[in-house]
Amino acid sequence: MDIGELEKLDNYRWRIPKSGAMLVDGVIYASQKLIGKIIEEKAVEQVKNVACLPGIVKSSMAMPDAHWGYGFCIGGVAGMDVEEGVVSPGGVGYDINCGVRLLGTSLDKSDVAGQVPKLAAHLFNAVPAGIGSHGTLKLSYSNLKKVLLGGSEWAVREGFGWKEDLVHTEEGGKLPASDTAILSERALERGKGQVGTLGSGNHFLEVQWVERVFDEKTAGVFGLREGQIVIMLHSGSRGFGYQVCDDFLKVMARSVVKNKIFLPDRQLACSPVKSEEGQRYLEAMNQAANYAWANRQVMAHVTREVFSDFFGESPENLRMNLIYDVCHNIAKFETHNVEGKKRKLLVHRKGATRAFGPGAPGLPDIYNKTGQPVLIPGDMGRASWVLAGTKEAMDETFGSSCHGAGRALSRSAAKKLKSGAEVSRELHERGIEVFSTEMGTLAEEMSEAYKDVDDVVEAVCGAKIGRKVARLRPLAVVKG
Amino acid sequence: MRKWIQLEHTADLSVMGEGDTREEALLALMEGFTAQIIDPGTIKKLEERVVEAEGVDVEDAVVTLLGELIYLIYVKNWLPASFESVELTKEGAKAVVRGEKYDPSRHRFLTEIKAATYHDYDFSKGADNLWRVRAVFDR
């Protein structure tokens, strides 16, 4: 491993000093164990590139799960000044508001013993998954537009969930949006049939159990206890979000020329936050974010119905409360302390999770003293984590943390290692039932294809930008 | 002579097309990336379509053209079996493809590709006089 230009600040922080066209330093949060892979993955170059964007404040950051992305690395975080800064679709990603939600239950692991395969099959049948999957929800264009403006509120209003779900969703499950006329016909076309669908690749629905609680008090506030069955759902804005990103990359390419913005990487195409193009992108991005929240809300509702039918109890009696829903790919206006002064920023999180600490504005009252739940999916064979946001994250990373384990192997390399059938059999032998529309996806998503999420969480907690609350283990996995 | 190869990429899909001319290289790239999506051997050449794209330059036009193919496949459910020809101008690209409508009884998608990106894109002529075009796709 060539550390090269990286300066080790402590066991969990690496600085890339400002050089060339960089306007600020780069900071990578990683342990000695992880930094080599991050360097191999060319994330360092991407952190440096982001540091060149106009209006970037403090530093260009990468979380411990950082790896190669488009423009920004996955795990990239950047706060832009709202007056002088830019907004970049590459800092949000194609799958706008890809995110994770966690539902609790009153069930214990012993309550599902011997029933997991059947339960998993019911979930697989109920939640549409796979390539280009379409939902059972047939929306008119008029109703689709209501989804885009209403997000989770729309879903709850239509009967897909509980009012309390909104309180436990980042931003209440809705970002401000008012003008669907700015969207391309193609975006609407791609979004029309996919509300309530999981998608493919690394998106999943998992039945998990709480293997270990690290902080009883915080876990109690979050509604978690050892042995408890919980459900984790990972999905985003599907074809609609990809199309919005694609459409606006073209708009931004022209804006870059018009505004004479220097870009070290074309995928960082951007526009001043205050420009017409910037404002239009933010309007469209908010609508894609709302689509993603509605999508996860509908799937959570379907999951509650499956559990209710299966266990013969209402979702309320099964206490299937939404613990939290967090975004991974988003840009949002937030106020943060920068060198002792409060500044309004447009914080880009690309493959990074908001990790607001105690007392931060925008959290539900119940999480005011603990900090927000930070949901970190790992891989389908090992573990996932629930952390809590910290004051240190607020001070250092604009209240951000990692979003997952991060890939270690390419999809083709993973496929060469094992077949999907082998992966399924091995997981079954370990008590994990997996259902997927594609065996190829299972091979691509095998545990060995990912870094060990425990290592990533260790680095997050070592840097104090997250705090361990609970470690979750999978029992049943539905993959696209 | 045109051919394509799939390149190693941790997170997503990278494909390189190679040929004696720019057009041949691009045709190979299009064949290579659609072969990741669906087995071309299962698609009949029943219908001809023209796929067009504009861009601020050739790179933009090529990436946009690849995006148009993604749209054609996943949204319009029309599957390209063969790429007959491609024209490249300063700010545009136009491909003639043959294929057919998706038929779930005969066709099986192998993977979902979300978008063509500008990331790590390269289109150049090597010392061996062969043209190569490389693109990375978001999955």
Who wins on pLDDT, B70 or B91? B70
Mean pLDDT of B45-69: 94
pLDDT (0 to 100) of residue A480 = 80
Q: Which of A68, A250, A480 sits opposite B10 (nearest CB)?
A: A68
A132 has a chain B CB within 8 A of its CB: yes
Q: Is the dihedral of CA A28, A29, A30, A32 positive or negative?
A: positive
pLDDT band at residue A408 under the 50/70/90 scheme: confident
Nearest CB partner across the interface for B11, out of A68, A265, A440: A68
pLDDT at A425 over 90: yes
Average pLDDT over residues A136-141: 87
B133: phi then psi, degrees, rounded to nearest 5: -125, 130
Separation in Å, CA of A414 to nearest CA in chain B = 10
Cβ contacts of A39 on chain B, cutoff 8 Å = none
Position A2 confidence tier, pLDDT thresholds 50, 70, 90:
low
pLDDT value at A149 more than 80: yes
Q: Which are the contacts of A398, defined by CB distance < 8 A and separation ≥ 6?
A: A58, A77, A79, A334, A336, A345, A347
Strands A56-67 and A25-29: parallel
Comparison of pLDDT for B56 and A294, the residue scoring more: A294
Q: Is the pLDDT of residue A1 over 60?
A: no
Going by C-beta distance under 8 Å and a sequence separation of 6 or more, which residues neighbour residue B119?
A69, A70, A71, A265, A267, B136
Kindly report, residue by residue over A448-479, the tens digit of the pLDDT.
Answer: 999 999 999 999 999 999 999 999 999 999 99
Query: 3-class SS at A15?
Result: strand
Please judge whether A70 and B6 are an interchain contact, meaning their C-beta atoms are less than 8 angstroms apart: no
Catalytic residues of A: 403
A14-48 confidence digits (pLDDT tens): 999 999 999 999 999 999 999 998 998 889 999 99
Check residue A123 and give its pLDDT.
97
Report the pLDDT value the prediction gives residue A209, as an integer from 0 to 100: 98
Helices (H), A10-140: 32-40, 43-50, 116-126
For helices B58-74 and B22-37, angle between their N-to-C axes, nearest 10 degrees? 30
Q: How confident is the model at residue B92 (pLDDT cuts 50, 70, 90)?
A: very high
Name the band, by pLDDT with cuts 50, 70 and 90, for residue B102.
very high
More confident residue, A342 or B119: A342
- Extract the tokens encoding A172: 């209440």
Kindly list the strands in the beta sheet with B92-101, ordered across the sheet, starting from the edge strand earlier in the chain: B47-54, B92-101, B78-89
Q: Which residues fall within 8 angstroms of residue B6, CB to CB, at 6 or more apart?
A: A412, B13, B14, B15, B32, B36
Q: Which residues pair with A208 in a beta bridge?
A: A230, A474
Beta strand pairing call for A56-67 and A329-338 = unpaired
Mean pLDDT of chain B: 93
Average pLDDT (A329-335) is 98
Per residue in A179-217, pLDDT (tens digit) is: 999 999 999 999 998 999 999 888 999 999 999 999 999
For A40, name the nearest residue in chain B, comparing CA atoms only.
B10
* pLDDT recorded at residue B91: 79
Q: What is the mean pLDDT of residues A328-342?
A: 96
Contact at CB, A410 and B8, closer than 8 angstroms: yes
- With an 8 Å Cβ cutoff, are A440 and B111 in contact? yes
CB B54 within 8 A of CB B126: no
Q: Which residue of A has its CA nearest to B37?
A: A131
Helices A238-258 and B58-74 cross at an angle (nearest 10°) of 170
Q: What is the pLDDT of residues A81-97, one digit of tens each?
A: 999 999 999 999 999 99
Query: DSSP code of B8?
Result: P
A403 touches chain B (CB under 8 A): no
With a cut of 70, say whether residue B116 has pLDDT above it. Answer: yes
Q: Tell me the C-alpha distance between A37 and A32, whole Å.
A: 10
pTM for the complete prediction?
A: 0.95
pLDDT at A103: 98
Give the integer Cα–Cα distance in Å for A291 and A288: 5
pLDDT at residue B11 in the model: 67
pLDDT in tens, A383-394: 999 999 999 999
Q: Which of A25, A71, A460 is nearest to A263 (CA)?
A: A71
SS (H, E, C) A370-394: CCCEEEECCCCCCCEEEEECCHHHH
Minimum CA–CA partner of B135 in chain A: A70
Residue B41: other Cβ atoms inside 10 A: 7
Of B10, B114, B136, which has the smallest distance from its Cβ to A242's Cβ?
Answer: B114
Whether the per-residue pLDDT at A100 is higher than 90: the answer is yes
**Nearest chain A Cα distance for residue B126, angstroms:** 22
Residues sharing a CB contact under 8 Å with residue A33, sequence separation 6 or more, in sequence order: A455, A459
Q: Provide the number of CB pairs (under 8 Å) joining chain A to chain B.
A: 82
pLDDT of residue B112: 85
Residue of A332, A279, A250, A259 lying closest to A77 (CA atoms): A332
Closest residue in chain B to residue A96, using alpha carbons only: B114
Arithmetic mean of pLDDT over chain A: 95
How is residue A253 written in tokens?
């390419």
Among A244-248, A417-421, B89-93, whose mean pLDDT is lowest? B89-93
% of chain A residues with pLDDT over 70: 99
Q: What is the pLDDT of residues A39-51, one digit of tens each?
A: 988 899 999 999 9
* Beta carbons of A72 and A86 less than 8 angstroms apart: no
pLDDT tens per residue across span A211-267: 999 999 999 999 999 999 999 999 999 999 999 999 999 899 999 999 999 999 999
Say which residue, B13 or A320, is predicted with more confidence: A320
- Residue A348 reports pLDDT greater than 90: yes
Pairing, β A99-103 against β A86-87: unpaired
Cross-strand partners of A216: none
* Interface membership of A449 toward B (CB under 8 Å): no
